[in-house]
Amino acid sequence: MTKMYYHNEINETVLKEKKIAVIGYGSQGHAHAQNLKESGFDVRVGIRPGKSAEQAKQDGLDVKSVAEASKEADVIMILLPDEAQKAVYEAEIAPNLEPGNALVFAHGFNIHYKQIVPPADVDVFLVAPKGPGHLVRRTYTEGAGVPALIGVYQDATGNAKDLALAWAKGIGSARAGVLETTFKEETETDLFGEQAVLCGGVTHLIKAGFETLVEAGYQPESAYFECLHEMKLIVDLIYEGGFSNMRYSISDTAEWGDYVSGPRVITEDVKANMKKVLEDIQSGKFAKEWLEENANGRPRYNEYKKREQEHPIEKVGAELRKMMPFINAGNRKVVIK
Ligand code: NDP
Ligand code: MG
Ligand code: MG
């Protein structure tokens, strides 16, 4: 099996001696900044004035402008939305980089697709948690963590990998396991996972199931429980013990239906489509189109977002969840990127 790195074998001294800047205070930013601070690292947050800057101050962090934080720090982690990174990097971070500094990412997008081209005399590495930022924070406070990938793109100081491991330990990820990868592998697998399986795959599977039942005349409430609510309960069993654990818990009738009907839904055609999605990621076509969409003011993004929010499954779900206050959704923005 591939080498995994865990908490007790990582020496974080190399990062303890550095000044750290976390740029951005959103989903990942708030988690990295707070977890590192509580792990005893010297953290400042670089952020434009606004809502999340106020939040960072309320959370007791040392808040500065992006330029100031970058100038002061030795290790600079960019946790802005991928599509915003290039402009902020060029205007405020690059002019403040010194030889021997480190530039860090939680996703390889901007380096892999050559949006950001750092100077040769800085370390460039990634620490990519395999989970939403709000869970990077929540699991840390519970004494756990979400797994992370690390990868080194440029090792100017000879310390890049040790810094990456120390960062992963500092945010709690080494409690779950840290795996070494490359920017190419992290970028392409992350984009594929979120598009084909985790976000795009799951929502469209749920929606197709819900629509099939409702169009056949069944109650939307029943279709919601069946196709959406129970998804988490089933996935929890898979998460805890794999497919076998889930199949152990369900009825033999459900298990038989899983074997005979699953492949009728997720056919070889679906896999062929997944391969096409992967090809567009590998060729840079997806990245190019997403950057163009941003440059055009996001017309299609906004249209799709509105359409999805208006889908009947969202309406019936909102009503049903009101009656299940223990679910506590809506108060928490959980984002997988
Ligand atoms: P968010 O969208 O949550 O980041 C928002 C933060 O960036 C806010 O502080 C916001 O400030 C600031 N910001 C937004 N636009 C700009 C801008 N144009 N100029 C300056 N600041 C800006 O980002 P994520 O945490 O989702 O993503 C950060 C990185 O982490 C990305 O590389 C992503 O791929 C990666 N990643 C994200 C995961 C996730 O769970 N979300 C999972 C793994 C990796 P303001 O409040 O002022 O708008
Ligand atoms: Mg992602
Ligand atoms: Mg991801």
Domain extent listing, the chain: 4-181, 193-327
Q: How many CB atoms lie within 10 A of CB 147?
A: 17
Which pair of tokens denotes residue 279? 């090809």
Q: Is the CB of 24 under 6 A from ligand 1?
A: yes
Q: Whose C-alpha lies nearest to ligand 1, atom 28?
A: 79
Reported for 324-330, long-range contacts at CB under 8 A and 24+ positions apart, including other chains, are none
The most distant pair of C-alpha atoms in the chain lies apart, rounded to whole Å, by 66
Nearest CA to ligand 1 atom 27: 81
User: With a 6 A CB cut-off, is 28 part of the ligand 1 pocket?
Assistant: yes
Q: Is 112 exposed, middle or buried (0-12, 13-18, 19+ CB in 10 A)?
A: buried
The predicted pLDDT at position 1 comes to 76
Angle in degrees, CA 291, 296, 297, rounded to 5 = 100
Q: Is 82 in the pocket of ligand 1 (CB under 6 A)?
A: yes
DSSP state of 195: I
Confirm or deny that 98 is annotated as ligand binding: no
Q: Give, using CA atoms, the residue closest to atom 17 of ligand 1.
A: 84
ipTM value of the model? 0.98
Q: Name the CATH superfamily housing domain 4-181.
A: NAD(P)-binding Rossmann-like Domain (3.40.50.720)
Tokens 């369900």 — which residue? 250
Q: Which ligand is nearest to the CA of 134?
A: 1
pLDDT (0 to 100) of residue 330: 45
Q: Which amino acid is at 180?
A: E
Going residue by residue through the chain, which has 337 residues, state the pLDDT in tens, using 9 for 90 and above.
789 999 999 999 999 999 999 999 999 999 999 999 999 999 999 999 999 999 999 999 999 999 999 999 999 999 999 999 999 999 999 999 999 999 999 999 999 999 999 999 999 999 999 999 999 999 999 999 999 999 999 999 999 999 999 999 999 999 999 999 999 999 999 999 999 999 999 999 999 999 999 999 999 999 999 999 999 999 999 999 999 999 999 999 999 999 999 999 999 999 999 999 999 999 999 999 999 999 999 999 999 999 999 999 999 999 999 999 888 754 455 555 5
- Residue matched to tokens 């990938």: 149
Q: What is the pLDDT of residue 135?
A: 96
Residue 154 Cα to ligand 1 midpoint, Å, equals: 23
The reply to whether 230 sits in an annotated binding site is yes
Helix (H, G, I), strand (E, B) or coil at 105: strand
| 80 CA: nearest ligand 1 atom | 7
How far apart, in whole angstroms, are the C-alpha atoms of residue 309 and residue 314? 6
Burial of 19 (0-12, 13-18, 19+ CB in 10 A): middle
Contact 224, 320 (CB under 8 A): yes
194 is in an annotated binding site: yes
- In angstroms, what CA-CA distances link 279 with 82, 189, 196, 322? 20, 11, 12, 42
DSSP-assigned letter for residue 124: E
Residue 150 pairs with which residues in a beta bridge? 127, 180
> What is the rounded distance in angstroms from the CA atom of residue 106 to the CA atom of residue 159?
18
Catalytic residues: 107
Residue 133 assigned to a binding site: yes
Query: What CA–CA distances, in Å, run from 221 to 214, 215, 230, 312, 314?
Result: 9, 13, 12, 10, 11
Q: Is the Cβ–Cβ distance between 152 and 160 less than 8 Å?
A: yes
Looking at residue 332, what is its pLDDT? 54
**pTM given for the model:** 0.94
